[in-house]
Each structure stands twice: as C-alpha cells, then as structure tokens.
Chains A and B, each alone.
Chain A
Amino acid sequence: MKSKLIIAALLSVAFNPAAADSKFVANLDKVVAESFKPGPGQDMSRLVQDETQKVCSETRNNPSAAQAAAINAREAATIKYPASGKLMGDWKNGEKLVKDGFGMRIGNIEPDKADRQKGGNGGNCYACHALDPKEVAAGNLGPSLTGYGALRGSGEEIVKYTYNKLYNTQATVACSNMPRVGHNGILTPEQVADVTAYLVSPESSLNQKK
C-alpha cells in the first residue's frame, strides 16, 4: 500500500507540475517554521504572509484577473492619508527620503541599530529606480522616474495617483515587485507626501530643466 502511495506521489510530480507545485507551496509554511529560529532579535511575524503575499507567491506574480481585482480592492482599502489631508508635502525632505533607506534589518548577526529597525528611515528608491540624472548609481528593477512631474504635470489627479502608488502600489498593480511602502510601514503617510512632492512638484529638483 505504502509503495503504491509513493508511486502515485512520484507520478503526480512527473505528470502534473501545477498540482505538484501547490503541494510544495502548502508544505512551505511548515518548512519555513523549521528554518527560522525564534528568539530575541528575530521578529517572526515578518515571515507570516498576508493574503496578497500568499496569492502572489502561489501564482508567481501572475494572478488571474479575478485574483488581481481582489488584490487591488484589498490593497486600495489600506491607503491612509496624512492627518493634514495634504498629499503634497516637503519635496526637499522627499529628496532625502528617496536617497536614504538603510534600516529595518534585524536578526542577531548584523542587525541595524535599534532605532533604525522599524521603518521611517527612507525609501531606498535608487535601489530600483533612476531619478535625478546626477545619481548614476541607480537600479533598473523599476521604471525610470527622471522628470516624473515635468512629464505628467502636477494636477490633483496625478498627485493622488502618485501618492496612492507610493503608499500601496498593489492598489493598482497586483503582485507588483515594488514594496507596499506606506502600508508596510517603510514610510509614514507624511513621508509618502514628501516623496510625492519630490516626484510631482514643479519646484522639485527632479523636475527642473537641465
């Protein structure tokens, strides 16, 4: 009986990749629990997936239309605005936040300083995006944001779209590679407003003609 079960399991691996993949995904939570040891310095809650992370993991960032719509709705509902209601903040502070971002690294081997382990340190945007052309060390995992506001104007709709995208990119792009910067606490709503200003404001250094 046992050998028949083993053969069946092996056959399912060989001829039904989708089912096999979901079998391994289901087993993964158990393996993860065995692979990260709790203790001081280890915030195990970071390993707990929310529904959106689960769907994006299982579908390898290729959700169905229905799944994508559900993700967009769920994530849009998380968006918080600054108490002032102003979605455009201080672009000079936004420029600093765009450049900085070291922080939120934990554990017992090379944790960041305690006050930098929570968010609010900056967005580390140059890891993935080109912005100011003077900064050559820019990644390309995300689209270029050079001249962002110069290209799009600074109307109310653009301001709101940009703020929302920064706060929770998956409100518009399900399973986007970009972190949910506001929702996950990387930046506060006020900081998101500052970065919005850096991107959109006509006064921002990002939008000056060279």
Chain B
Amino acid sequence: MQYKAMSLSLALALAAPLAWGEASVADYRAQLADKDANPGFLVIDRGEMLFKEKRGPKNASLEKCDFGLGPGKLKGAYAQLPRYFKDTKRVQDLESRLMTCMVTLQGYTEDEIKQKLYADQRKNEDNTPMEAIAAYVAYQSDGMKIDPPMKHAAEKDTVKLGEAMFWRRHGPMDFSCATCHAEEGKRVRLQSLVNVYNAKDIQATMTTWPTYRVSHGVVRNMQHRMWDCHWQMRTPDIDYGSPASVALISFLTNQAKGGIYDLPGIKR
C-alpha cells in the first residue's frame, strides 16, 4: 500500500506541470461529482420557500412571475432564457427577469435589491434571497436542453452584441473576455479556462450554472460570474442585469446550445 502511494506521488512529482495541473483538476471534479451530496440543494430548497412566500411591500409571492413560458410556468423556463419580453421590451436573462418580478409583483425597488445582491463569502454569509430563488428556478430546467429562442430581432442582436462585448479590451490589464476564453487548452495558474469557441467545452460550462462554488461556500449564478470576471479584469462593477451582462450571457448561452442542463453544478 505504502509502496503504491509513494510511486504515485513520485509520478506526480516527475510529471510536467501541465499534466499535473490538469490531472488534479479532473480528479478534483470527479470527487465532487456525487450529485446527492451537493450543498447547492439546501440553497434550492430555501429558494423554493422564498419563491412561494409572501414578501415585500405588496406582500405577494413570486408564483405569478413570467419567466417566458407564462406566469407561474417554471419547468423549462431557464432552458429557454435569455429571451425577449414584451412587457419590458428587452432581452432578459433569469436574474434580471427575477428582479423585474420582485419589483412589479412584490413592490421592491431595484436600488433596494442592488444594495445587497450577493453573499459575501469572506464573511461566511448565506446566499441572498435573490441568489437562492434564482437557483430554485434554474433547477426546474435540470435535464433539459439549452434552447434560448432566436426569433425576435432583439434576441439575435443581443447575441451579436454579447460577442462584441466578449472581445472588448479595457481596463489596466487590457483584458477582454477573449484574452482568457478564446483558445484551446489554456489555464490561469492551475485553473483551466473554458474556450467558448469549443462547443463541448462551453456546453460543459453553461450546463452547470448556477453552481455551488466550493471556494465560496454558496451557490453562484451567471450574473455573479459576469461580475466576478469584470472584477478580475479590474473594471468597475458591472451592473446586475445590465444590457452588457445580459448580452454576454446571451452570447455564451447561444454558444452552448444543445447542451443538457445538469443542475446545480459544483465547482471550485
């Protein structure tokens, strides 16, 4: 037993940094892959309670929220987002649509909601209601194909705008999203980077968001990911549900079309 362990560590030590780094990321993910043990389910359960609870100045639940398939229809809604909404006259993703419903059905203001969007993992905070509810609604599309509509001109435009935004270089690092996410086999330190122009790669990514993030101890969604990337790009905070963030998410979702949602994800 001891002999086997020693030669394994010797092999790892002698392996080139590239191989070691990639093998260990794959092993790490394999060990996390037991879905029943995903702490994200606790957040989804809490999200379901919050979704059905009467909240806000209007003392109403979110059960009449229209995520694109009609009021209250949750099954498959996330799989068909982002999409154009007639009432708001714009393309929206899950998180921005959820904010629309919290405002119109429950009477919260956008400013109120934006005061505290995300759990601060540095303070061991739990997910905010917004994050928990988004996780719950997304989970209703588990097992379904990524299939955002591309009928309305605004839906097509938003994807193209998202791709333009993907290549926009700005900030003191001269970074664009493409700096890290447009080439095969790249990594930052030992964190492998998804290539959005590789269909299998981007499908593996987009089908597993929202995700429990082990390093955060909470569930994170795509809006948070867009914020996180821009924070690392050293830009100001990208606004929650903003046109640029929705455009980026539209582009990425479209790149991953046909992938099957496997939710909630679990990642570093």
> Which residues of A are in contact with B by a Cβ distance under 8 Å?
6, 9-10, 13, 20-21, 24-25, 27-28, 31-32, 34-38, 41-44, 46-49, 53, 56-57, 60-61, 104-110, 119, 126-128, 130, 133, 136-141, 177-180, 184-186
Given known pairs A20-B160, A109-B231, A177-B179, the reply for A36 and B237 (CB within 8 Å) is: yes
Partner of B243, one of A35, A46, A106, A133: A35
Quick one: which of B170, B190, B238 contacts A49, CB cutoff 8 A? B170
Q: Is B70 an interface residue (CB 8 A)?
A: no
Given A109-B227, A128-B188, A136-B17: A185 touches B232 (CB 8 Å cut-off): no
Instruction: Name B242's contact: one of A9, A35, A57, A109 (CB within 8 Å).
Output: A35
Q: Which residue of B lies closest to A139 (CB)?
A: B188
Q: Which residues of B contact A136 (CB under 8 A)?
A: 17, 20-21, 190
B residues within 8 A CB of A47?
170-171, 235-236
Cross-chain pairs A/B with CB under 8 angstroms, 25 sampled: A9-B153, A20-B160, A24-B163, A24-B164, A27-B164, A28-B165, A28-B168, A34-B243, A35-B238, A41-B237, A42-B237, A46-B235, A49-B169, A57-B169, A104-B234, A105-B231, A110-B231, A137-B21, A139-B190, A140-B186, A179-B172, A179-B173, A184-B172, A185-B172, A186-B172
Q: Given A24-B160, A105-B232, is A53 in contact with B169 using a C-beta cutoff of 8 Å?
A: yes
**CB neighbours of B161 from chain A (8 A):** 24, 27-28, 31
Q: Are A53 and B174 in contact (CB under 8 A)?
A: yes
Interface size class of B (residues with CB under 8 A): 35 or more
- Note all chain A residues with C-beta closer than 8 A to B179: 141, 177
Q: Does B101 contact A (CB under 8 A)?
A: no
Report the bound CA distance from A136 to B16 in whole Å.
9
Known A10-B153, A53-B174, A119-B172; 14 more pairs at CB < 8 Å: A21-B164, A27-B161, A31-B161, A34-B244, A35-B238, A35-B243, A36-B239, A41-B236, A53-B169, A56-B169, A137-B189, A137-B190, A139-B189, A141-B183
Measured between beta carbons, the chain B residues less than 8 angstroms from A31 are: 161, 165, 243-244, 247
Distance of A201 Cα from B237 Cα, bound (Å): 40
Docked CA distance A35–B248 (Å): 12
Interface: B201 (CB within 8 A) = no
- B92 to chain A minimum Cβ distance, whole angstroms, is 14
- With A and B bound together, what is the CA distance between A43 and B234 in angstroms? 10
Known A-B contacts A107-B237, A110-B231, A130-B17; the reply to A138 vs B189 at CB < 8 A is: yes
**Residue of A36, A104, A178 most packed against chain B (CB within 10 A):** A36
Evaluate contact between A13 and B156: CB separation under 8 angstroms: yes
Q: How far is the CA of A178 from the CA of B176 in the complex (A)?
A: 11
Contact B189 A126 (CB under 8 A): yes
